[in-house]
Structure 1
């Protein structure tokens, strides 16, 4: 253990405890009993010094709190970013590190782990692991085993292999998580992940929307998609018009108000009663008709009732097994001669998902052309890490 461990008393990770864990994966084959004995050695070295004997066990390595190990990951990430900044001659970002690795320059990054025996398949994977580890932890993922820090378990039970994920990024392939987002402060997705996990665990795929909006009203949660403005892909596309419009999963009402301002007689619905109430409070006197409704069991009178239907990132908020049912329901809202606009996050077929949301694949976008709807212009929009769809469908008159 001494040969693969760098004790760093300048980096506290617990109540006066400081250590740098062995490189990811080194301990994955250590039997539990031996891991416990090693924990005693650590206790003696870092805590005992003059008080604990090796026969005592003040703590086991596996007993260190999740927050302690998370701080180690944060430290490793910062060291990698500092090494990248030194190489580039300017402040570096996560995406800068990814670009360096893809360009084959991982060996040029000087950081402490480079001097240790490394169990990772390539230097690029080694460099990227702390970045993905921190990003996934902030989405609610945790390590299943303290020492085997190669696999993370998400709040919805999905498993992510860090080495495989980093190797995918090293090859320049889509890796399905935003490393370029804000990496300081509170994670905007944390509340949605937490509530979705709890709701789905009880077999309720939509109940978490109400809890999220209700808690947001009291300041106890953040609605990650609430930008307090209509979606820019909608404002670019929509023009003044007339007829009836329906906004699916309207949230706090910004998209619905935009359509009403363009001249549409607008109906906006959400499964969350709190969302509907908050939208009405935000826009008193609005001409939009806000109402509570369930996309999976919509009012029958909405069938073929709208000239324009706008679906923005609602289907992707549902678990994948419900996508087909939700897509079919949305298509049914469009009347003859009407149009459906779909805006969604995208991913490749079989691409990684760190849900929620469950971004839509090309085949799922194509599935909106159902029940007589015909596909119009489908835009596959790429901007750095982000992959979005903007697709229009029409029902012949």
Structure 2
């Protein structure tokens, strides 16, 4: 498969940092505050998609993910085969990219509307990837089997701190021994209150995962989306 395409600039969300973008964040947080994190997930994400409130949608593959797999300067030698999961996949840009690398990929999102949008974006690729499926379901409950790679971006940061241990436990259930968790740790905002996106730290990921993991990579990417400068790291853990 050829390299996946990105969406035209501004196709799916207001430009980063504009008043329209900031307003969409305020409206998103209001919707989520009206819902409870029952079992770990918040049904407000379904409502957000229904209202077209997707301020995290940057219109394409996250640059640090592409850099991780394509830069010769990064020592990340993992097999380009096996199963990959992208929870909170949204429109599916990163899931499509992983499928293009040779992984049998599953994109998972709580919102059926997000999954429909991902299927539409998948169909627009030339040619559409065949080793890719999208599922509407609850990350904490869905039965999707075991994975060699799970990729987390704007997923961990969607949960308030009290839900993070459940996230870590679930990652241990989904990733095979010897498999990898790839996280774009964002936003690294120190002690900033409120969310989403809730402020994160590398220590918060470590604590949530607990024992049974070895950190194999941690670095600041040279390629980032607008507004992520100084607020993002790539971290990879291997399940032992």
The two structures have a TM-score, normalised by structure 2, of 0.75
Aligned 1:1-397 pairs, distance under 5 A: 182-187=17-22, 188-200=24-36, 205-216=41-52, 222-239=53-70, 241-284=80-123, 285-287=128-130, 288-299=132-143, 302=145, 305-347=146-188, 351-367=191-207, 369-370=209-210, 372-379=212-219, 386-396=230-240
Alpha carbons of structure 1 residues 347 and 238: separation in structure 2 relative to 1, 3 Å: same
Structure number having the greater strand percentage:
2
**How many Å apart are 1:234 and its aligned residue?**
0.7
Q: Which one scores higher on RCO, CA 8 angstroms, separation ≥ 6?
A: 2
Structure 2, unmatched stretches of 5+, are 1-15, 71-78
Alpha carbons of structure 1 residues 215 and 196: separation in structure 2 relative to 1, 3 Å: same
- Counterpart of 1:143? none
Alpha carbons of structure 1 residues 369 and 198: separation in structure 2 relative to 1, 3 Å: closer
Alpha carbons of structure 1 residues 368 and 307: separation in structure 2 relative to 1, 3 Å: farther
Check conservation: 1:369, 1:375, Cα contact below 8 A.
no
Larger deviation, residues 310-319 vs 285-294: 285-294
Structure 1, unmatched stretches of 5+, are 1-180, 217-221
Alpha carbons of structure 1 residues 266 and 384: separation in structure 2 relative to 1, 3 Å: closer
Q: How many residue pairs end up in the alignment?
A: 207
SS at match of 1:387: coil
- Matches of 1:394 and 1:344 in 2, distance apart? 16
Alpha carbons of structure 1 residues 191 and 286: separation in structure 2 relative to 1, 3 Å: farther
Alpha carbons of structure 1 residues 210 and 228: separation in structure 2 relative to 1, 3 Å: same
- Matches of 2:138 and 2:38 in 1, distance apart? 18
Check conservation: 1:375, 1:392, Cα contact below 8 A.
yes
Find the structure with the greater CA-based Rg. Answer: 1
Segments of 4+ in structure 1 off by > 4 A?
Answer: 201-205, 380-385
- Matches of 1:271 and 1:185 in 2, distance apart? 25
* 1:233-281 deviations in Å (ceiling 9; x for gaps): 1111125811111111111100000001111111111111111111112
**How many Å apart are 1:213 and its aligned residue?**
1.1
**How many Å apart are 1:209 and its aligned residue?**
0.8
